[in-house]
Structure 1
Amino acid sequence: MDEKSPMVFQPTMFVPPQPIPYPPNYTQYVTGPAQGAYGIPVVASTMWKSGMFECFQSTPNGSSLMALFCPCVAVAQIASRLGAFGGYCGVLAVLFVIYCTHHAFAGLAQNEVDNYEQDQGHWTPQNINRLITYATLSTLTALLPALFLAVLRTRVRRVHHIQGSECEDFLCSYFCNCCTIAQMATEVQAYTPGECSFGPRSTIPAYHVVYGNTLV
């Protein structure tokens, strides 16, 4: 009777699944209702599609023309594209009220100056107080569109992962608002190339941007 050598069983080792290595830029994720509980890696961008002073390169597209002649409509189109601040009609209404309020206070201040000239340089304390009040309110309401534009530019940067700062957004919005509007319109594709339309384009599907532990 032949003797058989005993069988030796090696223990099976379990190796846990390793995470898929992504490039360094794959550090941010977006999740939305359509994705459920998982995330889709998004490559972070660091540059705008067009430079600050490249707005006229899109002519005759709606970017530069709308920003120059109809800035309120262009800003409303950008906000509508992002689905932010009440959309197209909401932004138009807010900007209309702001500009009307600014011109109303400016007109009241000018009226006080005209009264001063008609009275041959005679000022009363009431006239001075009214002039200071109207001039101050006119100046403050003139800053509101720039502040709103800066907030919108910050929103565009965060959604598209563009580097920058809030200070830069305000300076661009205050000193060169037309170029800022055209730059944002190009970034979010708020206009149809080759056309100059006054209506809004379809809103980009909603999603949330995650920066570390912060949900925007």
Structure 2
Amino acid sequence: MTYWEHPIDDCCFDMGNCMMGLCCCCVQIYTNAKRLGENGCCCLILSCLLTPLIPNFMLRKKIRTIHGIRGSDCEDFLCACCFGCCVSCQIANELDARGRQSKYNAQVIVDQPKY
């Protein structure tokens, strides 16, 4: 079992992730879900219409399970309840640190087609 590379109180490690979590938490939840292979639209709808608690809990649990990070479902739930934006930032920072897909799935066009 390992520990979080970025604990819950390290949400300002990456200012881009921090600002996204504070200003556009629903969008960050969508991005985190896509990067973890989950249905981003479903997470976005849940976080906008109901509460970000449910997708944050599910995504935090998934990243903890995938990477063998110490913790429990109860801890994930309490963190998602009390620190919603910080949990979203923590997930984004953890995905960055552990190399899960690029932050922006941009493709660079190397050769232009010839007409």
TM-score (norm 2): 0.76
CA deviations 1:152-179 (Å, max 9, x no partner) are: 2111100111010011001111111111
The counterpart of 2:45, out of the listed 72, 89, 93, is: 93
Give the strand-richer structure, 1 or 2. Answer: 1
The counterpart of 1:82, out of the listed 21, 27, 36, is: 36
Asked whether the equivalents of residues 13 and 93 of structure 2 are also in contact (C-alpha less than 8 Å), the reply is no
Q: Which residue of 2 aligns with 1:46?
A: 2
1:66-215 equivalent positions in 2, closer than 5 A? 66-84=20-38, 86=39, 88-98=40-50, 144-189=51-96, 192=103, 201=105
| C-alpha deviation, 1:51, in angstroms | 1.8
> Residue 164 and residue 67 in structure 1: after superposition, are their counterparts in 2 closer, same or farther (change >3 A)?
same
| C-alpha deviation, 1:93, in angstroms | 2.9
Question: 1: CA distance between counterparts of 2:27 and 2:86?
Answer: 15
CA deviations 1:129-172 (Å, max 9, x no partner) are: xxxxxxxxxxxxxxx53133112211110011101001100111
Question: 1: CA distance between counterparts of 2:81 and 2:89?
Answer: 14
Paired residue type of 1:67: G
Asked whether the equivalents of residues 60 and 76 of structure 2 are also in contact (C-alpha less than 8 Å), the reply is yes
Q: Residue 12 of structure 2 aligns to a residue in which SS?
A: helix
**Which runs of no fewer than 5 residues in structure 1 stay unpaired?**
1-44, 99-143, 193-199, 203-216
> Of the two, which has the highest radius of gyration?
1
| C-alpha deviation, 1:47, in angstroms | 1.2
Q: Percent identity over the alignment?
A: 32
Asked whether the equivalents of residues 61 and 76 of structure 2 are also in contact (C-alpha less than 8 Å), the reply is yes
TM-score (norm 1): 0.43
| C-alpha deviation, 1:53, in angstroms | 0.9
Question: 2: CA distance between counterparts of 1:71 and 1:53?
Answer: 17
Q: What is the root-mean-square deviation in Å for CA atoms of aligned residues?
A: 2.1
Q: Residue 9 of structure 2 aligns to a residue in which SS?
A: coil
Question: 2: CA distance between counterparts of 1:176 and 1:93?
Answer: 20
Q: Could you list the runs of 4 or more consecutive aligned residues of structure 1 that deviate by over 4 angstroms after TM superposition? A: none
> Residue 177 and residue 161 in structure 1: after superposition, are their counterparts in 2 closer, same or farther (change >3 A)?
same
Asked whether the equivalents of residues 52 and 84 of structure 2 are also in contact (C-alpha less than 8 Å), the reply is no
Asked whether the equivalents of residues 51 and 183 of structure 1 are also in contact (C-alpha less than 8 Å), the reply is yes
